[in-house]
Amino acid sequence: YGVAVRKHLIPGLGAHRLDRLKPEHIEHFYGTMQANGRKAGTIHQIHRTFRTALNEAVRRGHLGQNPVRLAKAPRVREQEVEPYPVEDVQRLLRAADERRNSARWAVALALGLRQGEALGLKWTDVDLDRGVLMVRRSRRRPRYAHGCGDTCGRKAGYCPQRQRTNPETADTKSRAGRRAVGLPAQLVDLLRTHRARQADERAAAGDDWTDEGWLFATPNGRGTSPRTDYDDWKELLDGAKVRDGRLHDARHTAATVLLILGVSERAVMGLMGWSTTAMAARYQHMVDSVRSDVARQVDGLIWKPYRDGPKDGDDGMAGVRVPVR
């Protein structure tokens, strides 16, 4: 915002003065971004950031009203939530047990941590005696700039002298994101085993080990990159003979299981780090279908009609079988 005010220009919108910016200019900008292949979700993120920045301009008296609030961003189609069935979860965990950092996938499927949250965990965030895990930071995908002066003819990420421009991790910003998560007893056991295996790796690496305290580290102690983690997930799916899916589907699976088990929506929001109830609403159609199926089974068990039908003299419960202790 400060740069925009000083230059009286909005980057990417041409030479429009800040105080002459119209909603139509912004919508045209979004349209150009879409035509260049940018996803609607990405444009919405820019839209929110842009709106916040110009709200500050209004607050400081540089603008009479915020034109971004009147502009329409492209419609985002929500991706269908596709949780894995329990049988697939069991197959994934069995396959993961034969791989490095096997507890990584138990954390994903049982706790529903986001990828960045899981990779940002350190041993200081875990209290195995109390069975509690603290989510405090997130590992960020790297961004790069040219180190060659943009002379290599490649994108910055492929420059032989590339330089990372953002930090490896960032503290979780939202209050909902910073949270304590209870650990199931079996997951505590898995993490104890994982700690012992990591100690063996540390001993084997010797002087090559870099002790940064990561819960899920590389064989030399460094933090695991999101790209490597993604590749490991795909290999796990293939090895377990489970349908292909996004890593985020593991998070959907954990959330769905919690809701089906009847955990309150407010408690699930706290465990998953959701800030609004809109996220829980996305799962409701699946949860309702499972509950309806259970209700039908109970109905068939308790109110199963007699084979011979109702008999004369029966009261209002005629035609039903009442369980007797």
Structural domain spans, the chain: 2-69, 86-250
Where residue 280 falls (left for φ over 0; alpha for ψ -120 to 50; beta otherwise) is alpha
pLDDT for position 101:
94
pLDDT for position 12:
57
In single-letter form, the type of residue at position 1 comes to Y
Q: What is the pLDDT of residues 176-222, one digit of tens each?
A: 678 888 888 888 999 999 999 999 999 999 999 999 999 999 999 99
CB of 33 within 8 A of CB of 13?
no
Counting Cα atoms < 13 Å in the Cβ hemisphere of 211 gives: 7
Fold of the domain spanning 86-250: hpI Integrase; Chain A (1.10.443)
In this prediction, the residues of the chain whose per-residue pLDDT falls under 50 are 1-9, 306-307, 315-325
| Global confidence as pTM | 0.66
pLDDT for position 310:
52
pLDDT for position 312:
54
Looking at 67-184, list the stretches that DSSP marks H as alpha helix, in order from N- to C-terminal side: 86-96, 103-111, 115-119
- Report d(CA 141, CA 119) in Å as an integer: 11
pLDDT for position 318:
44
CATH (one of 3.20.80.10, 3.40.50.2300, 1.20.1250.20, 1.10.150.130) for 2-69: 1.10.150.130
